[in-house]
A and B are shown apart, each in its own frame.
Chain A
Amino acid sequence: TQLLEQSPQFLSIQEGENLTVYCNSSSVFSSLQWYRQEPGEGPVLLVTVVTGGEVKKLKRLTFQFGDARKDSSLHITAAQPGDTGLYLCAGGLQVWSGSARQLTFGSGTQLTVLP
């Protein structure tokens, strides 16, 4: 059972279009991170949001953390082929077996932006 549900799973759009990726859970997270991953490489951190209702902008990317800290969205304006990749959301939780702060990931959204 996936604790974090991402949608859509796959998205193929034309250059210049806008898109939104959603990350939903029934659990409350202390933080929410978004990563982008290229094939065969590790995830690269895009943003961390920690406050319910928080909105962060990174150039053409807008990230929002839900008021209840259970969901998040990533909106990309005027997508470019360089935005192509796997977008992963990850919620921060305390591990039951210790004091570690673990990340629990969604299964990702594979975005393809066609020129």
Chain B
Amino acid sequence: ETGVTQSPTHLIKTRGQQVTLRCSSQSGHNTVSWYQQALGQGPQFIFQYYREEENGRGNFPPRFSGLQFPNYSSELNVNALELDDSALYLCASSLDHSRETQYFGPGTRLLVL
């Protein structure tokens, strides 16, 4: 059984640029959630995708957007990067959108200069 995978592992961008992060969900899981984890903090919910639609969103601005594909993989896009966007971005998959148990990938470390 394949776990959650994310790419790239590390990324450096400059302020104002755009970035796309990718996630492949665990086998058999149809729901993907994205979280942002700043240094020294717990992860914060960005949004969730289920059946290729955004299924719920946390307190993040519209420049954070996403996609889910028919194979349940997902992308997180961030436009107009700001310095405060520097963080570990985590993808988590769950069996179904009604399940709260989520399995996390290794994350993508984004540094915005």
- The chain A residues found within 8 Å of chain B, CB to CB, are 4, 30-31, 33, 35, 40-45, 48, 88, 90, 92, 95, 97-108
Contacts and interface: CB of A to CB of B under 8 A. Distances in A.
Interface in B12-52: 33, 35, 40-45, 47-48, 50
B56 interface: yes
A41 B88 CA distance: 9
A48 B100 contact: yes
Contacts of A43: 43, 90, 104
A100 B100 contact: no
Chain B interface size, under 10 / 10 to 19 / 20 to 34 / 35 or more: 20 to 34
Given A95-B57, A95-B58, A107-B40, A101 B97 contact: yes
Contact of B100 (A30, A40, A42): A30
A103 to B, nearest CB: 6
Interface of B: 4, 6, 33, 35, 40-45, 47-48, 50, 54-58, 88, 90, 92, 94, 97-107, 109
Say whether chain B's binding surface is mostly helix, strand, loop, or mixed.
strand
B100 A33 contact: yes
Contact of B45 (A41, A104, A107, A108): A104
Nearest to A101: B100
Contacts, number: 91
Contact of A100 (B48, B104, B109): B48
25 contacts: A30-B100, A40-B109, A41-B106, A42-B106, A42-B107, A43-B90, A43-B104, A45-B101, A45-B102, A45-B104, A48-B100, A88-B43, A90-B42, A95-B48, A98-B54, A100-B50, A100-B56, A101-B48, A102-B45, A103-B35, A103-B100, A103-B102, A105-B35, A107-B41, A108-B41
A92 B43 contact: no
A108 B42 CA distance: 6
Contacts of B45: 95, 102-104
B44 A105 contact: yes
B101 A31 contact: yes
Contacts of B98: 99, 101
A3 B50 CA distance: 25
